[in-house]
Structure 1
Amino acid sequence: MKLSRELQAFAARIGHDFKRPELLIRALTHGSFSSDTRPDNQRLEFLGDRVLGLVMAEALLAHDKSASEGQLAPRFNALVRKETCAEVAREVDLGEVLKLGRSEMMSGGRRKQALLGDAMEAVIAAVYLDGGFGAARDMVLRLWGARVETVEADARDAKTSLQEWAQARGLAPPDYVETARDGPDHAPTFTIEARLSNGERASASANSKRGAEQAAARELLDRLDG
């Protein structure tokens, strides 16, 4: 099996030459495009999440040898969360090579945070299975870049930070409103809008309400700080 020119370009962007191209193809196959002969990427996503976690745990320990577990945990969470995986996916244009069913494609699946984050984890697993842990670690550290060094500023709870921002300006606490719920019952995607009493608002999506609330709060904070 050979990769298409498009997938070869993607493999070059992530810096891995696949000996087993079928692993990359599977990593990029969403459930809406799968069939009995074309498996989706969910099992790879499960594995990739664990590989990413080990890479980031090692990297954080190496970067700050005096940090306590209480300091490391929020940094770790910030580095492995779905939003960060989706950011990295956008940087390597993963959405352009996702294999989606027609309905998912029509609904903007190539830009959905949950789909991008899941596929990025699946790609990590594909590299791990194809080249071993060293290859996966090298790719993750290269793609995550300076995030390990700068994660402290991003590790605080976004909802708490947004509430503190509002209180400091005499505003009511933020409201979080569910504006959409997509996907099957066993794997829903929630869209939450964070709203401030001064009219500022921002939306984000995630696989859990809590994750979507955190992502929406972070998006609104970024907008306010920007």
Structure 2
Amino acid sequence: MSQPIVFIVDDDVSVRESLEALINLTGSRAETFASAEEFLERPRVSVPNCLVLDVSLPDLNGLELQKRITADRADMPIIFITGYGDVPMTVQAMKAGAAEFLMKPVSDDALLDAIGQAIENSRETIDREAELQALRVDEATLSRREREVMTLVVSGLMNKQVGFQLGISEITVKAHRGRMMQKMKARSLAELVNMDAKLRSTSLVKT
């Protein structure tokens, strides 16, 4: 996978430059922005990444930026840094999904630890999304009858019971089931049940 990116949004040029130099030593690539608006113009990336975000920014502040991007950038953990945080601000940021909330001046070790964990979380999120996308592609190849068989099979019904539910013979169920398992690339019933759970959980979130 490509080099991780650490985005830095801070209106203090000295902070941006020092953080950029620090991060570039870790093997990740740093990209800096002076404002939230400037950052929002940056297209999304498909590599592990995180955002080091100052709370106090001109115009659109850090907490407002968090609200804008949290919903559609789950693969980008946010690490807040601030010179004057308070408890309500910290609680608001963490409840909205922030990975960390650090006070300036931030120690190099604390920041690098937070960034390392955030990048790992981002990588896991990207991997999960890639797996889900592959499952969706496989599911889309199923015929209507194969989908019906899959739904009943993962609910725990035997072939005979599936046939009774659908009004077809057990032999026909076995044929549909075999093709469905092949298309889903499922090596066992347990694996198929796990696949279905992942697909259903994402559809529930969307609704």
- Same fold per superposition (TM over 0.5): no
Larger relative contact order (Cα-Cα within 8 Å, sequence gap ≥ 6): 1
Q: TM-score, normalising length from structure 1?
A: 0.28
Q: TM-score, normalising length from structure 2?
A: 0.29
Greater helix proportion: 1
Q: Which has the larger radius of gyration?
A: 2
